[in-house]
Structure formats: structure tokens, C-alpha cells
Amino acid sequence: MNLMFKIAWRNILRHKGKSIVIGIILFIGAFLMTIGNGIISGMNEGINKNIVNTFMGDLVLISDKQKTENVFFNFMGSSVEPINTYKQIKEVLKNQDYVERYLPVGKNLAMILKEDENTPSVAYLLGVDFTQYQKMFPNSFKVIEGRLLNPAEKGLLMPTHVRDEHVYTSLNIWIIPENSKLVKENMTKAALENFQNIAISSSIVLMGMASSMNSATDVRFEVKGIIKYNALNTIFGHFCITDIESYRECLGYFSATDLAVEIPIEEKKLLNMENSNLDSMFGSESLVVPNIQNKATELKKADISSQKKQTDINIENGIYNLVFIKLKEGISYKTAIAKLNNVLTESNTEVRAITWNRASGPIGSMAIIIKGALFVFVTVLFCVAVIIIINTLTMAALERTSELGMMRAIGARKSFIGGMFIGETAILSAVFGGAGIIVGVIVVKLIPLFKITTSNDMVQLLYGGDIFRPVLMMPDIGLILIQLIFVTVIAALYPVGVARSITPLDAITRD
């Protein structure tokens, strides 16, 4: 074995030109594979950190009536079906040992209205129990102006993206938090140039857009704070956060306050009926439906101060649209969804579980596409390296026909010749490929120090956040070593076969 490697090393030195070419190819291939794997790992970690852990969890529960699974970034504005079985859902989730945390939320589109104009803008609303939201997604955003919502407080947190792109650009209003002063340093360049003509306000009027409801209302929200999401702010910045009861009022849903009122059974049945059922009660004439809807609105707006104290109301009794779920570490999505959907069906909760990337529609799809593209890039690079190395080694074997034939003539076996070629390739792979991996690791470690940023949504998905942070852990480096060994073995197989097939007669003929 030692003799074989000594001869292999001598041959490398004798054929420096070919050896350097093969070495450079191995170096570049190992370097680019290291960078590619670092980008893929960084993207995975960034998505896990910036989407799963700070915005929507691993799984999302949606209503069985929900037709499309894209419940988060449906830019056509279609509403998300309501969920009114949260009490049952909560009991199910409490008993699942693979579930770490869960959070019910209201999510739908709302129109931003201006009193003296008919042209509205839009924003997404997230209705939550803000205390529970912070426990589920700690440090997901920072306050730019104003403050956060207090427990059980009504109000709205507006992202900078909504203020800059939706409210100011469309309605010429600049929003500042309640009881706050205007901070010109936070204004956009366009707003500063138009400062004399814009209106300043600390509240905003929103009208919910839920197609299944009949009594969505205009609600004035007091803005308590202006926030900026710590990552993917351009994407997540479409979502204003508000308390769940204000959200329900805006969308026309029954709130926990409404449900605390004792309503006769007949009226409950009437209020819960769909439009089609209401029409069928009165034949083809639907002119009386508005009166029924007015009745519903009157019942919902009833003053319950004398019937029920606010402190006695459990906000979990009202309607939600989604439930976010975080899984415990190491639990696969496939396993969790199969188990969870089985128990949800058995408990008649009328909801189903889907993964975050399915719930996020084009955002989740783009993340998968980008990861797939990176994987294809690494695979193509792998194939190109193999082809070039095979070609170079084969040429080297043919050029050494006389030498190899003479070695066979003096007693060298085919196994010795093959081992010698594998040894040459292994030495080059270890030296040049190892150097490529080391340089690649150093580059991956240095890139985050430059804080390369972007405001482009799709590039942010590639980055896994606002800042480009490729990552390499020990398992990633182990994978790269395996890939390098695989490339070396595959690339050496054909040239070794060519070298083994050379006979002493070939050497004489060649001479």
C-alpha cells in the first residue's frame, strides 16, 4: 500500500500539468459546494428563525370549509373562513405531547378608509390576545414609535410598511401613535417633501372584508405603536396587529362580549343562518333579508354592561380564523400532521392542519423553489466536476500507455495499476478539495460580517432574512466531505478501467 501511494505521489509530481488542472477543478468544485451548502443551510435556518419562530409557527389550523390553503398571502383578498370550535381545539392540542405552543388568531383583509374620500387602501389584520402573542413569538418586531399593547387593551400596532406604502401613499395621511409627537426622522423622503399637504393622525378607520359575514362595520382604531418586523419586514409588514375583540367587531364576527349575552334560542338560530337559508325561508323574494340582518346588528350592538361584567368574559369564546402551532424539536411535519388531523377529525373540531409553507401560499412556494434551485446548482456543479475530472484522468491514462504497459510487463497486476490511479486521485482530492472546503468555510464565516442586506422580498427569502447569513454546522461540513469523496470515486472509475485495460502489447504498439 505504501509503495502504491509513493508511486502515485511520484506520478503526480512527474505529470504536474495534468495534476494541477485536476487539482484546480477539485478546489473550485469543493469551494462552490461548500458555499452552496452554506447558503441552503443559512436559508433553512433563516426561514425557521424568521417565519416559523417569529410569525406563524410550524403548522396552521384552518377551517374544513376553507377552499384554498393559501390563507396568508392571498393577494386577491378572499376572506379566511371563521373557526368557532376553539374550545374543542384547545382541549385537543393540550393533550398532544409533540405540540410545544399554540395561538388562535383572527386574520383577514381590511379596507383603510378616509372620511372625505371614496378611494380606500388595504391592509391585513391579525387579531390576537397580545399577551399570548408575545409568549408565542417573542422579539418578532421592535417598536419604532409609541408603545406595545397592554394586556386586554384595545388598539392597533401598525408596521412601517403599512404606514409608508398603504396609508400615506394612498390616502396622504401620516400616522403617529396616540399621545406621541411627529418624528420627522422616520418619515419617508416623499412624505417630507409633501409635508405641508399631508394630514397627521393617530387613529385609522378600518372596515373588515369577510365575504361570509353580513355585518362588517367601520371601526376606528387608536394606533398605539409603529412597529418594524425584525426580519422580512417588507413581507410581514402588510400585517397590522390588533386585539382580538376589536378585530371581531371590524369583521362583523360575534365577539366574546356578544356571546356573553343570553339570546333566545330562536334568535340564535336565525343569526347563525347563511344567506341562502335566509332566502329560502321567504321564497325567491329576498327583500326582507336586510331587516333580518339589521336585527342581527342590533343584537350584536346591544349594551351588555348591566348583564355581564367585562372581567367575566373569556375572549376565547369568540370566533377565530386560524390557529398557529409550534412543534417540539425533532418532530417531522409529516408525522405531526398525520397524528393531529386524525385526532382533530375524531373530536369533530371542523378544522384541519397544514404546514406553514402551504398556508403562506406564494411565499412558501418561492422558498421551496429557491431551495430547489440551489440544490440543482450544487448538483450541476457536482456533475460538471465529475465530467471534467473523468476526461482529464482518462487523457492522462492514455498518455501514459507506455509507462503502464511496461509496469504490466514487469509483473504489476491490474489491481495495482487501478489502486495507483485511485491513489493519485485521492491525494489530489485530499489536498486541493480539502483546501477548497477550508477556504469555503472561511468565506461562509466572513460573509455575515459584511452585513449584506436587501429590501427585495424574493432575495430576502434566499437570504432567510434581511441579512445574508450563510451557515455551516458540523453536519454540513460532514456532508460536503461525503460529496467530495463521492465525486472522487465516481470520477476515478472510468479512468481506472482504462488504465487497467492497458497491456504490454499496447505499450509496444504505442512505441
Q: According to the model, what pLDDT value does residue 225 have? A: 97
The domain total for the chain is 2
154, pLDDT greater than 90: yes
Q: According to the model, what pLDDT value does residue 393 have? A: 78
Nearest to 426, CA basis, from 12, 138, 3, 52: 12
Nearest to 220, CA basis, from 308, 137, 112: 112
Q: According to the model, what pLDDT value does residue 53 have? A: 85
Q: According to the model, what pLDDT value does residue 405 have? A: 81
Rounded to an integer, what distance in angstroms lies between the CA atom of residue 232 and that of residue 187? 20
Q: Are residues 102 and 251 in the same domain?
A: yes
* Last residue of one domain, picked from the residues 325, 349, 373: 349
Q: Are residues 94 and 234 in the same domain?
A: yes
Q: Are residues 218 and 335 in the same domain?
A: yes
Nearest to 50, CA basis, from 356, 322, 337: 356
- Mean pLDDT on 312-331: 88
The residue whose grid cell reads 505499450 is 507
Q: Per the domain annotation, does 356 fall within a domain?
A: no
Q: Are residues 100 and 27 in the same domain?
A: no
Split at pLDDT 50, 70, 90, the class of 310 is very low
Split at pLDDT 50, 70, 90, the class of 302 is very low
Q: Per the domain annotation, does 224 fall within a domain?
A: yes
Q: What is residue 112's DSSP assignment? A: E
Q: According to the model, what pLDDT value does residue 3 have? A: 67
Q: Are residues 253 and 398 in the same domain?
A: no
How long a stretch of residues is the chain? Answer: 511
Q: According to the model, what pLDDT value does residue 299 have? A: 40
Q: According to the model, what pLDDT value does residue 341 have? A: 96
261, pLDDT greater than 90: no
Nearest to 244, CA basis, from 321, 129, 149: 129
Cα–Cα distances in angstroms (integers) from residue 224 to residues 116, 123, 184, in the given order = 24, 17, 18
Split at pLDDT 50, 70, 90, the class of 282 is very low
The predicted-structure confidence for 428-463, as pLDDT tens digits, reads as follows 889 999 999 999 999 999 998 888 887 776 677 677
Q: Per the domain annotation, does 213 fall within a domain?
A: yes
Contacts of 161 (CB under 8 A, 6+ apart): 233, 234, 237, 238
Between residues 499 and 508, the one the model is more confident about: 499
CA 24 to chain centre: 37
The predicted-structure confidence for 106-122, as pLDDT tens digits, reads as follows 999 999 988 666 678 88
The predicted-structure confidence for 167-202, as pLDDT tens digits, reads as follows 998 889 999 999 999 999 999 999 999 989 899 999
Q: Per the domain annotation, does 304 fall within a domain?
A: no
307, pLDDT greater than 80: no
367, pLDDT greater than 80: no
Q: Are residues 115 and 189 in the same domain?
A: yes
Split at pLDDT 50, 70, 90, the class of 369 is confident
Q: According to the model, what pLDDT value does residue 360 have? A: 84
Q: According to the model, what pLDDT value does residue 503 have? A: 81
Q: According to the model, what pLDDT value does residue 308 have? A: 42
Q: Are residues 35 and 96 in the same domain?
A: no
Q: Per the domain annotation, does 272 fall within a domain?
A: no
Q: Are residues 26 and 103 in the same domain?
A: no
3-state secondary structure of 331: coil
Q: Are residues 427 and 381 in the same domain?
A: yes
Cα–Cα distances in angstroms (integers) from residue 160 to residues 56, 175, 228, 236, in the given order = 20, 10, 6, 10
The reply to whether the predicted model has a pTM over 0.75 is no
CA 86 to chain centre: 25
The predicted-structure confidence for 12-62, as pLDDT tens digits, reads as follows 777 777 788 888 888 988 898 888 888 888 877 777 777 888 899 999 999
Between residues 276 and 237, the one the model is more confident about: 237
Q: Are residues 133 and 249 in the same domain?
A: yes
DSSP character string of 240-305:
EEEEHHHHHHHHTPPPHHHHTS---HHHHHHHH--HHHHHHHTTT--TTHHHHHHHHHHHHT---T
Domain region containing 449 = 2-51+365-510
Q: According to the model, what pLDDT value does residue 328 have? A: 94
Q: Are residues 321 and 392 in the same domain?
A: no
Q: Are residues 104 and 30 in the same domain?
A: no
Phi-psi sector, 161: left (phi>0), alpha (psi -120 to 50), beta: alpha
Nearest to 65, CA basis, from 209, 191, 211: 211
The Cβ-side half-sphere exposure at 18, using a 13 Å CA radius, reads 19
Q: According to the model, what pLDDT value does residue 326 have? A: 96
295, pLDDT greater than 70: no
135, pLDDT greater than 50: yes
